[in-house]
């Protein structure tokens, strides 16, 4: 597989912009058109990006939430920020942030397993 970043830096003599880097990542994930793919596992990510693109993305699977996660989810829906939630629930801000990140909050009622 070609290293697009090294080739770009050698050819242009500079680091790529964010847009150019995104294009190179898309090219490497998708593979070259018409070329024989030697390893299927390398291109598995490209297939998932084709079926779940960034316009809609993958559907969130229903998840069983802990008590704190349920409370944080309710407070997020009521437009509270992370600092206020930490004060209300007597938790550290980092704990609240980690719960939000791990449980991918906010979630709707359909996305929560009872």
The Cα–Cα gap between 84 and 87 comes to: 5
Spatial contact of 9 and 16, defined as CB atoms under 8 Å apart: yes
**Residue 8: per-residue pLDDT:** 81
Spatial contact of 9 and 17, defined as CB atoms under 8 Å apart: no
Residue with tokens 């070609």: 2
Reported pTM: 0.52
Residues 47-70, mean pLDDT to the nearest whole number: 72
Residue 95 pLDDT > 90? yes
**Residue 1: per-residue pLDDT:** 47
Residues 98-104, mean pLDDT to the nearest whole number: 94
Output the CA torsion sign for 21, 26, 28, 33. Answer: negative
Domain coordinates in residue numbering, the chain? 4-51, 67-111
Residues 71-100, mean pLDDT to the nearest whole number: 96
Residue 33 pLDDT > 70? no
The Cα–Cα gap between 80 and 78 comes to: 6
Nearest to 82 by CA among 67, 102, 98: 98
**Residue 55: per-residue pLDDT:** 53
pLDDT category at 44 given cuts 50, 70, 90 is low
Mean of pLDDT over the chain:
80
The Cα–Cα gap between 17 and 39 comes to: 29
């Amino acid at each position: 597989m070609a290293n697009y970043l090294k080739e770009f830096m050698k050819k242009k003599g500079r680091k790529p912009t964010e847009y150019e880097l995104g294009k190179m990542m898309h090219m490497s994930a998708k593979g070259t058109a018409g070329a024989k793919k030697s390893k299927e596992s390398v291109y598995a990510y490209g297939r998932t990006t084709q079926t779940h693109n960034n316009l809609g993305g993958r559907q969130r699977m229903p998840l069983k939430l802990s008590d704190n996660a349920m409370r944080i989810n309710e407070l997020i829906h009521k437009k509270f920020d992370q600092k206020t939630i930490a004060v209300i629930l007597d938790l550290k801000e980092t704990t609240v942030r980690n719960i939000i990140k791990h449980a991918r909050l906010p979630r709707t009622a359909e996305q929560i397993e009872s």
